């Protein structure tokens, strides 16, 4: 019996309990919002959403604890090719009969119930692949530095940037999910910044993207049908809310109405007008993409600030662990996780506030999604494993405060 529970005792000694508690608070907050956001369905069908999310949280905690005991650096150094093949093959599975887009325009889901009857949830490969992508990109930067390469040199940028562009192209070609591509790009930015890539590369890349958009906008789009493509319209409607409030901007219009109606303390839990309404013109995707609007309507500004504070503390904890990591690889992994979370929170909340376009990005730990929750706990479990491996005492004494 002692042997059975010894790993759990070791976890309480070495694992990051602070991070686990923050993740549990956020995910339980999300579970309460999902319960409220699915009540309108009726006939107890809401129970499936709550049950799947609850089971995913339990599994996520177990994965968090198990991954705390794994040191990924040696594995990634020896098996990086295997991880890269896994990323490619896992995404290619979306092109098989298991792939499904659910009329969203993005081929994001593997319907496991087609081969395993009654399997309770679908799997999102582009969510899961984020973790090996962070590990691979981190080892790339760490190895370049170990070999004495200038991390800001053109060959180094071509290697790390080429890996990132390859993944972006793969996701764009297979999934068509440009929102997820943005998250992968922000992961690269976070790791590259932590690794010490010089500011000029960020300015050149950002300036190049802006210049390309302006050139296409001014000289190509007005004379083609692309100008009215739904992807372009998602950006245009953000700049001009009156452009198409009943079509392309309809989702975000409902969102800001819900958030605004909540005022300071909200309309009350389970009492949001749009959240609890069953008519078709009510708040869309209220348990997934627009769950932040549910929080705003029912819990008001106070509830939204509490939610954002909790998510911010998770990001800051990842940064703190990165600052105390035992190796550059571990530090970059933690910064990649922090960048992933920060980008997803920023774009989801910005979308709900109608200051950013709809990208189909969920709110970490809050939105419904079994594979998303398990993946997030796994990501944080890797951060916990970094925290469990501190610097040796003779190095810790010399490390900067």
pLDDT of residue 393: 45
pLDDT of residue 363: 95
Q: How far apart are CA 3 and CA 298, in angstroms?
A: 47
Task: Write out the chain's pLDDT in tens, 401 residues.
Answer: 445 555 667 778 888 999 999 999 999 999 999 999 999 887 788 888 999 999 999 999 999 999 999 888 888 988 899 999 999 999 999 999 998 888 777 888 898 888 888 887 888 998 899 999 999 999 999 999 988 888 888 898 889 999 999 999 899 889 888 889 899 999 999 999 999 998 888 888 777 777 776 666 666 555 445 555 666 777 777 777 776 656 778 888 899 999 999 999 999 999 999 999 887 778 988 999 999 999 999 999 999 999 999 999 999 999 999 999 989 999 999 999 999 999 999 999 999 999 988 888 899 999 998 889 999 999 999 999 999 876 654 444 444 43
pLDDT at 220: 57
Strand partners, 99: 110
Q: Domain containing 183: what range?
A: 15-388
Cα–Cα distance list, 76 to 136, 175, 378 (Å): 7, 26, 16
State the residue for tokens 């627009």: 290
Beta bridge partners of 95: none
190-209: b (≥16 Cβ within 10 Å) or e? bbbebbebeeebeeebeeee
139 inside domain: yes
Report the candidate in 360, 375, 362, 346 with the shortest Cα–Cα distance to residue 175.
360
* β strands within 279-340, DSSP E: none
d(CA 342, CA 126): 17
Give residue for tokens 């177990």: 62
Please tell me the distance from the alpha carbon of residue 356 to that of residue 235, in angstroms, as a whole number: 8
In a domain, 152, yes or no: yes
Burial of 165 (0-12, 13-18, 19+ CB in 10 A): middle
Cα–Cα distance for residue pair 306/139, rounded to 1 Å = 35
Q: Does residue 2 sit within a domain?
A: no
Is 163 within a domain? Answer: yes
- In sign, the C-alpha dihedral spanning 241, 168, 172, 123 is negative
Other beta carbons within 10 angstroms of residue 219's beta carbon come to 9
Q: Tell me the C-alpha distance between 276 and 41, whole Å.
A: 9
pLDDT at residue 395, rounded to an integer: 47
Residue 10: the pLDDT is 75
- Which residue from 63, 96, 102, 109 is spatially nearest to 376, judged by alpha carbons? 63
Greatest alpha-carbon span in the chain: 74
Cβ-contact 267, 304 below 8 angstroms = no
Question: What is the distance between the alpha carbons of residues 46 and 52, in angstroms, rounded to a whole number?
Answer: 10
| Closest listed residue to residue 332, CA positions, set 388, 381, 383 | 383
Residues 6+ apart with CB under 8 A from 66: 381
d(CA 49, CA 258): 22
Number of domains in the chain: 1
| CA–CA distance, 20 with 31 (Å, rounded to integer) | 16
| DSSP annotation of 100 | E
Instruction: Give domain status of residue 395, yes or no.
Output: no
For residue 1, tell me if it sits in a domain: no
Answer whether residue 25 is part of any domain: yes
Question: Rounded CA gap, 362 and 347, in Å?
Answer: 9
Backbone torsion region of residue 356, taken as left when φ is above 0, otherwise alpha when ψ lies between -120 and 50, otherwise beta: beta
Give the closest residue to 143 by CA, choosing from 84, 75, 77.
77
Asked, for residue 10, whether it belongs to a domain, the answer is no
């Amino acid at each position: 019996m002692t042997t059975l529970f010894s790993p759990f005792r070791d976890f309480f000694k070495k694992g990051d309990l602070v991070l686990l508690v923050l993740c549990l608070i956020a995910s339980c907050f999300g579970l309460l919002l999902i319960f409220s956001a699915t009540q309108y369905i009726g006939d107890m069908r809401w129970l499936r959403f709550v049950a799947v999310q609850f089971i995913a949280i339990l599994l996520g905690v177990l994965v968090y604890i198990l991954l705390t005991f794994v040191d990924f650096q040696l594995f990634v150094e020896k098996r990086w090719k295997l991880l890269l093949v896994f990323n490619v093959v896992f995404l290619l599975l979306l092109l098989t009969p298991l792939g499904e887009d659910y009329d969203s325009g993005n081929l994001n889901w593997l319907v496991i119930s087609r081969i395993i009857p009654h399997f309770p949830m679908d799997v999102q490969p582009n969510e899961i692949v984020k973790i090996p992508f962070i590990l691979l990109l981190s080892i790339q930067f760490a190895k370049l530095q170990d070999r004495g390469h200038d991390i800001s040199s053109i060959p180094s940028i071509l290697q790390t940037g080429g890996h990132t562009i390859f993944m972006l192209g793969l996701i764009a070609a297979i999934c068509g999910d440009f929102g997820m591509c943005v998250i992968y790009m922000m992961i690269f930015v976070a790791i590259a910044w932590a690794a010490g890539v010089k500011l000029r590369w960020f300015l050149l890349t950002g300036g190049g993207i802006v210049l390309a958009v302006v050139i296409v906008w001014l000289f190509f789009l007005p004379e083609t049908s692309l100008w009215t493509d739904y992807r372009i319209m998602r950006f245009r409607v953000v700049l001009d809310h009156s452009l198409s409030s009943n079509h392309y901007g309809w989702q975000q219009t409902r969102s800001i109405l819900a958030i605004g109606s909540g005022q300071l303390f909200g309309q009350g839990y389970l009492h949001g007008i749009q959240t609890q309404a069953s008519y078709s013109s009510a708040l869309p995707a209220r348990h997934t993409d627009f769950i932040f609007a549910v929080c705003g309507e029912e819990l008001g500004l106070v509830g939204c600030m509490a939610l954002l504070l909790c998510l911010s503390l998770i990001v800051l904890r990842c940064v703190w662990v990165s600052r105390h990591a035992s190796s550059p690889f571990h530090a970059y992994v933690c910064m990649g996780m922090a960048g992933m979370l920060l980008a997803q929170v920023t774009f989801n909340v910005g979308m709900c506030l109608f200051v950013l376009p709809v990208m189909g990005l969920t709110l970490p730990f809050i939105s419904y999604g079994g594979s998303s929750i398990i993946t997030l706990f796994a990501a944080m479990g890797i951060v916990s494993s970094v925290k469990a491996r501190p610097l040796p005492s003779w190095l810790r004494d010399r490390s900067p405060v």
